[in-house]
Each structure stands twice: as C-alpha cells, then as structure tokens.
Chains A and B, each alone.
Chain A
Amino acid sequence: MLESVLIANRGEIALRIVRACRELGVRSIAVYSEADRGAPHVLAADEAHEIGPAPSAESYLRIDRLLEVAARSGARAVHPGYGFLSERAVFARAVRDAGLVFIGPKPRTIAAMGDKVRARRLMRAAGTPVIPGSPGPVRDPDEARRQAREIGFPVLLKAAAGGGGKGMRLVEGPAGLERALAAAGREAQAAFGDPAVYLERYLNAPRHIEVQVLGDEHGNLVHLGERECSIQRRHQKLVEESPSPVGTPGLRARMGEAAVRAARAVGYVGAGTVEFLYLDGDFHFLEMNTRLQVEHPVTELVTGIDLVEWQLRVAAGEALSFTQEDVRLDGHAVECRITSEDPFQGFLPATGRVEVLEVPLGAGVRWDGGIRAGFEIGRHYDPLLGKLVSWGPDRDSAVRRMARALDELAIVGVPTSVPFHQRVMRHAAFRRGDLSIRFIEDHPELTAGDVDAEELGVVAAAAALFADAERGRHPARRPHADGRPAFSAWRRAGAKWAVLP
C-alpha cells in the first residue's frame, strides 16, 4: 500500500479520502486555503498545509504550490478528488514528473476524454453511439448558427474542456444563440481556463444513466452497474440512485459492455464513469469522467465495493481481487446532494455560517459531509455541503428511508436544498420511477415554495417566542428580583468556563 497521499481537494470529498486513508493506514496530507483553515477535512487529516488565499485560482488550482507541499511533506501519491484539477492532464503529468503516483488514469487518457470533441470521435470509432453534434468547437456566432441549423434546434452549447454543467447552455432558437455562446465561453474560461464550446443536439427528456468502471494496471476492467442521475438542474445533478428504475439485467449488461469498451479504448486505469443519455430503450454516449464521481456512494452501497479504497489499491499496483461475475447489485441506494442553495428562489446560492448541524443516523443512512457547526460557507467554492445517502432492500424502502433521514437532518444558518429533496422523495412521479432530465421543469410544484397554514403558524409562533426571549434578555428591560444587573450571572458563568482546561 502507499505510504502517504496528498489530497488536492477540499470539502466532503477531501474528508471522504482522508477516511479511506485512515482505514488503510495511509498517512493523509490535506491542503487548505485561508478560508478553509477550520474545515473538517483539515481537522481530520494526519497533517495539513496552507496553500494560498480563498479564491481557488490562488490555492486549490495552484499546481506549483501543491507539488511544493508534496515535496515538503514527503507525499508518495496525490489524490485529486473531483472538480478542481482532477481532470487536468497537465496536473496528472506534473505529479508523475515529480516522481509521485497520480491516483487516477494516465495523463493521455484524461486528455483524450477531457477534450469532449475528441472523446466523441473516439467513441464513435469504438462503436459506441454518440449524440449528433458539431464535429469540432465553434469559433464564432456565424459558425454556431450554421452548425445549429444543420443539427436542428434546440441545441446544447457545451464546453469542450468541461463537464458538470459549467459553461453549458440550452438554446431554443437562433435568437438566443449569440448571447448564450458568449456566456458559455466566459463560464468555460472561468471554470476550465479554456473558452472552446461545441454544439450537440438536445434530446427531449431523456434519462441520465451512467456506468461506473474500475480498472487496474494489469488489464482487468469491470463495470459496477449503473446510476441514474436524471434529477438535475442546469445540468447539475441533485438526486442519484443505483440501480436505475429502468435498469433491467439486459440493459445493464448492454450499457456495462459499452462502458467497458469505451474505457478500454483509452486504456483506462482506476475509477471512472461513462455517462449516457437514455431514451426509449436507446442510449448515447455523453462523456466520460476520468475521476471519482460525487455520486460514487450509491454504487458503493449496492455493490459493497469501496471505490476510494480501490483507487488507492490500484494506484499502489494491486490487481482487482474480483471479476465481473463477482459484482452483484444488492438492494437500492439513493443520494441527495445537500447544497447551500435556496430551492424556492431559483436555487440561489447562499452564504452564511452553519450555526447548527445535526446529522441523521439510524439504519441504512450515510452522511458524507464537508461542514461542521461554526463553519463559514463562503462564495468561493461549490455549494455542495454534503451528501445524504440511504440504502434499502428495494427502491421504495430506500426512498422512504431517505425521506425519514431528510426530516432528521438539521442545517441551520444557511438555506439548503433539503426542502426540495423532501418534496422529491414524496412526489408520485419520483416514487413511480418516472424520471427524465426535465423532471424539475415538468414538476414546478417541487420548487414552488408554498407553505401550509400549520407550518406558517409554527414558524410565526416560534419567531415570536425567540423575539420575546431576546426582549426579555435585554438588561434594561429585565431587572432581576435581587436588584443585581442582569448580565452579572452570565459573566460569572463565563468566568467559570474560562478556567476549565
């Protein structure tokens, strides 16, 4: 096994990797920005090093500083997590050139799949169906208009270097094209440092189904079943599950084979995900993510395979200890992404301090979080606070369990996506497994923000009680019976606490 791993990330995924390291007896080395000095991943790691100011361009994206810390701390390997530098071939190459192990695929694999235009060509050659689109990046509005006419509106603008919805725009007709092209280019530049954008036909209400693959350096490559991630907003996944409600053994075998073929075509090593859009029994290659996915826990819960552990084992040169035939899906798992976004205000990102954090426990519930009470949610990073994951022997029990766990989760101090997820879990179409990537648009009641009278009454009553208590606490209005100033007792109590070790 590797002696030590530098984790070039933050938040819940950094903590997830620290935990895997701890369990395997690997020394974990965290990095953090000025804004993350008190972050949970910092507290959990064996050691932690500051790498710069809050903006990620000056900290988590600084390859030079990360390698400097790696050298200073004697790190033997680097885990990039997801996002940030995880899909930058130049980072993987720099890590290797520094004599360290990069926990992920080879740099040329990342480069091949990272260029979405090239990946589409590769997949077509490997016999995987791809969505019709522009043959290469579009350079100006005229070319975009020409290509869009050929493909047919509506079209999707996508960042050639990107993924995860950043730099992506849906364009319904020629009128909005130029403006969308400019915005997508800007967002792509900001997120990936590359403004190149290409066009793809927009499929009407498909499902997003992806396949987890895992390979080692000895030529073994397996798939670990599918995940359905159709519930998305602006191409950001919100709810994921495994298996898919439409995931029959036959479809799983077909998609699994296509995914393994795609991964083999680029010599894949480690954990990766091949994403497809599924419509009426057909599936089309969307992209391959050459890294760990946010939603990897649902696969872990149904397969019993710890993906981060296997990333570390594969990076250490171990061979997979199981074959495709050994992989069995047991039960059903659901994940809700808990973000600091207000679902009733267009998922407006919110900032603030986490005042209270109470995480649900009980049978079949897992919380992969990156926050703690007292932690400040700033504007510099992704709004993902944590992931709530449930497992049940079947889909219905996993969903009921998730609904229960969501009701028990308390994050106070910043609005979160929790109430959205509560509505999804209780929604008839979701319960039926009737999903598509248009789910949120098709069911506006999920984000309507209506309140029933009883809830309004409870909230108003509580607010009045809080205000009343505050008023009562005010020294001027609360004379003590014994005539002493009201605050002295508090002060004495404070002094008493202060001398405790």
Chain B
Amino acid sequence: MMFIWNASGRCPKGKASVRDELKKIVQNRLFIGALAVCFIAMTVMTAVALYGYNTGTRGRFSIPLLKGERPQTVFVSADSIDGLKRAVDDFENRDEIYYRDEDEMMKEYADGGSAYFGKYDVDISGLIFKLEKGEITEQELDSIASSQEHKAIRKEFLPEYIKLYWPVSEYENIERNIEHCEWQSADPSVTQYMRDYNGFLAEKNRKMLQTGFNSGYDYGWENFYGLLSEDVGIFIALIIIFGLCGVFTSEYAMSTDALLLSGKKGRGMLAWGKIAASLIYTTVCFAAYALLALLISFAFLGVQGMNAGQGESHLTKLFTVLPYILLGCYLLCFITLAVSSVCKKLITSAAVSGFICILPFISQMLFYIENPYLSQLVEVMPVNMVFGTYISSQRYVYLSGSFTDIRHFFPLVAAAVSAVCLPVIYKKYTRHEV
C-alpha cells in the first residue's frame, strides 16, 4: 500500500490550525443570530433617538428647529468667555424691535397680544394667574419674566442664538455646577465620600473652564456613545460568551478531546491556538459592533461635531473608549474560556460564564450598592469596560481620599484577570483526563 511508510519515518513538524479553530467557533449559529439582534437593536435605538431629536424630546433643540443649521464648534474657556458674552450682548442690542420697556410689554399682553421680548417668547400666563391670586408681587413677576430661564428663543433667531448662546450657556452651566459642588462639599450632613467627591468635581470643572472646551452640535456622536453603552453592550458581551463557551467544553462534550489530547500538538500548542482563535473572534465581534454603531448612528444623524465635547473632544474620546471596550471584550473572552476549560457540559459553561461576566452589570442594575468601595469594585469589572459609558462619562475611583480616573484601574484589572484565567485555561485543558 502506498501510504504505509517505514514506522521510523517521522512526520514534518507543524502548528495547530488557528483558522480551523475559528471555523469551529463561527459554526456556532448563535453568533450570527446574536449579531443580527445587535444590528436590529442598534438600528431601532438610533431610529428612536432620531425621533427624539426630531420631536424635541431629546437634545437641546429639535432638528426641525435647527432648520438644517449645524452650529459650528466654538472653543470656550475662562479667557474667551468675556468675548463670547460681549457677542451675545451685541446680538441682543442689534435687535431693533427688542422691547426693553416692561410696562409696554405688560400693556400689550393685557390687550390680548403675546408677550414679546424681541428674539424671545415667554409664557407668563401662569405668572399672571399667580399675580391675580396674590401669590407673587408685580416686581417678582417682572423679575421672573425677564429672567433667562423663562425665555424661549423665537424660531427665526434660533441658529444664530445657538451659535452665540450655546457656548455661553454651557460655560454658565459648568459655573453653576461648580457652585453646587462647592456647596455640597461643605455640607456636613452628607458622607465624607460625597464631600470629597463634590470637592473633586468642583476642582475638575474649574480646571476645565480654565483650559477650555469645545461646544457645538454633536447629536450623531451623542447617539454613537449611547450605542456603546449597557443597552447594546450587553449584546456584544453575550455574543462573546455564547460564541466561546464551547471552545473547550464542546470538545469534552463531543468526545473529540481524546483525539486532540493524544495528538503531538494537541495540548499546549492547541490550547494557545484555541486562545488565539478566540481572541480573533472577539476582535471581529468588537469590530463589527463598533462599526455597526458608527455607521448606523452617523447614517441617521451625520458626523458633525467630532471636535466638540466637554473635557475632551469626541474624537479623542472615541480613541480612548474603543481600546478599553476591546480590552473588556478580551477579558470576557478569557473568563469564558477559563470556564469552558473547566465545564464538561455546554449549558453549564454558558450559564456559569454568563453569570460571572454579567454579574457586575446585573448587580449595578438591580441593587443600589451603598458602600462606595464595593460599588467601585463592581464598576471596574471587565463587563463594565465593554460598556463604554463607564469610560466615556469619565468615572472615577475613590481610593484613600482621592479620586483616580477609572481608566487607570482597567489595566490592573486586565492583568489580574489574565493572570488568573490564562493559567487556568492552559492547565485545565492540557491536564484534562478523558
């Protein structure tokens, strides 16, 4: 027979096929289904967001109000705020029909006309009612009616208003925020943690005003970060868990383990091959997830405003968030593989890895954890890395009275998870007995 060789002749050396391992993972049809669900969820969420932007229930101004205007991004800082405020005054002063005489305004209103503040409309009917009931005085009514909070810009001036007022308004919001935080940090009735936290936030905001920030229209980016959050992130976590829970377990369950483990490269090399294939699968899932979020969101809402954003620009934030999400996906991959290397039944493997990976998310959602340390421990868990909101919203970890950016802890968590999971995967599989 042509295939019978001399038994002393050895076969050439080779390496385990990562491609075939990947093929085995992808043959799990759950992967395709879950990705389809993810796509549908993202599309629906974006469509809902678009509806919200159109009807004015989401965003500062509804898209029809903007009349196709996309306010340019403006740099705002303590140095530039005075100039911006002057521009607002000029804008108001240029209004020739701007009624400064409050008596005249009241007269017009009493004659059945609308209260008109030049560029502003204001609804003071409730206040008049209060005045009639004697709940407020006339002076109080004047003061309230002319205050900024009760004014609504007239539609025809909106694009210009946004360009001028939006940056000033954001600046003033931060100033008010600082004031609130300072007040909270001095309040003896709140916990030390809350005092420290508010003090930290006040300081952070002060620095931001000093260094400046970009203000502008960024609905597409807002939606994109919304998609990279728990709502959709849970799907990517599940795609990884369900895709990888069978990497080792299915070999045990299908009795292919004996064939593999008796092969020359069927232990160490194959274990690494399986890990490599799982990492490739995870990367592909992550890329599909990020790309879908990006494309769907921007297809609906456009790409304007990448350089806007408080603290850091959206583009910078994107490059910061995505690597952490990828890191979180890799850690979920390691945890799932470790569980898979231990469990002999597919259902057990899926349930256990699902439970371990998603437990922090569930505990955050369902239980209010009062202890700040415990709560923060839950926050730095790998699944929360997958949920980009933990990174994009700039969370902080409270340690020894000071606050550190949550991102600094993720590499430590990654090192710890890898240090535990990789040896478990390797040892449990290579020492597995049939």
The answer on A and B forming one complex is no
Interface set of A (CB-CB < 8 Å, partner B): none
Interface set of B (CB-CB < 8 Å, partner A): none
